[in-house]
Amino acid sequence: MANSQPRSQPESQPESQPESQPESQPESLLSVRNVETYYGPIMAIRGVSLDVPKGRIVTVLGANGAGKTTILKTVSGVMDPQKGTVTFEGDEIQGRDPDWVARHGIAHVPEGREVFPFLTVRENLLMGAYARSGRPAVAEDLDMVHGYFPILDERSGQQAGYLSGGQQQMLAIARALMARPRLMLLDEPSLGLSPILVKEIFGIIRRLNEEQGVTMLLVEQNANMALQTASYGYVLELGRIVMDDECGRLLESEDIREFYLGVKKDAVRGKKRWRRKKTWR
């Protein structure tokens, strides 16, 4: 156990001294080290390492097929890595089953929402709290998620299959929230949604982070939205991290602007900028 060492500090010492937790080295809630994950003989993740500090939103950007979903599946226990470690709150969790991981504070909002279409909105939300006990707290949390997603309150008795894509995404996030996670894994919440809905959902993601203190690992193809929402970002290509930095800096990066944000470097007519080879470090 991580806390089996006797505390050397006197009890009167305040918990969070500024010098014990410097701004530049925030406490890592999730730490992925040199992970390799395969589909049969195919290595989808090729030695990925990343950190998610407590209280932050961290994003992994990458094109379709880069391996974003595989990273999240490896963290949530849906897939077991062949190599490497996944450390959550100081304990190695790689190879645990998804149910164990969910019960220990990590909620996975999968790609494509995956709500239960024949259950009502309310039943879907209660499924999110299955690992919990204590009815009053569950009722309180229903109120809390309805506060963020009022539409889910209005549609409470409706079958989830009849919700729009945006509403299903909201339900998937709200269901994950019902488990009171400390870390939420979000797999492309923008997928297939209109720009207005994407903005709304990312606004709520930011509020959940700030107001509920949920740490987030967000994987996205929508680089613009993800970089505006997260504080730190990793760029994934063909299963490898090729770049990482503060999101503000990534937004300014020439390569990110050109290949992920679609911003032209110069507007010379006829120049075939897409022919330029990527030149990652």
Ligand X SMILES: Nc1ncnc2c1ncn2[C@@H]1O[C@H](COP(=O)(O)OP(=O)(O)O)[C@@H](O)[C@H]1O
Binding site for ligand X (CB under 6 A): 39, 42, 44, 62, 64-70
The smaller minimum CB distance to ligand X, of residues 68 and 180, is found at: 68
196 binds, among Mg ion, ligand X, none (CB under 5 to 8 A by kind): none
175 binds, among ligand X, Mg ion, none (CB under 5 to 8 A by kind): none
Q: Enumerate residues 6+ apart whose C-beta is below 8 A from 84.
A: 32, 33, 34, 35, 36, 47, 48, 49, 94
Pick left, alpha or beta for residue 39 (phi over 0 → left; psi -120 to 50 → alpha; otherwise beta): beta
CA atoms within 13 A on the CB side of 159: 5
The smaller minimum CB distance to Mg ion, of residues 141 and 169, is found at: 169
Closest residue to Mg ion in the complex (CB):
69
118 binds, among ligand X, Mg ion, none (CB under 5 to 8 A by kind): none
Q: Enumerate residues 6+ apart whose C-beta is below 8 A from 256.
A: 61, 223, 227, 235, 243, 250
42 binds, among Mg ion, ligand X, none (CB under 5 to 8 A by kind): ligand X
Please give the structure tokens belonging to residue 278: 């990527």
65 binds, among ligand X, Mg ion, none (CB under 5 to 8 A by kind): ligand X
Residue 124 CA: distances (Å) to CA of 151, 161, 177, 221, 246: 14, 11, 12, 27, 36
Please give the structure tokens belonging to residue 89: 């709150």
Residue with tokens 């990652």: 280
The smaller minimum CB distance to ligand X, of residues 142 and 241, is found at: 241
The smaller minimum CB distance to ligand X, of residues 51 and 187, is found at: 187
**Contact positions vs Mg ion (CB under 5 A):** 68-69, 111
Residue 78 Cβ vs Mg ion, minimum distance, rounded to whole Å = 12
- Chain centroid to CA 199: 16
Residue 218 Cβ vs ligand X, minimum distance, rounded to whole Å = 12
Residue 39 Cβ vs ligand X, minimum distance, rounded to whole Å = 3
The smaller minimum CB distance to ligand X, of residues 71 and 160, is found at: 71
**Contact between 70 and 42 (Cβ < 8 Å):** no
Residue 68 Cβ vs ligand X, minimum distance, rounded to whole Å = 3
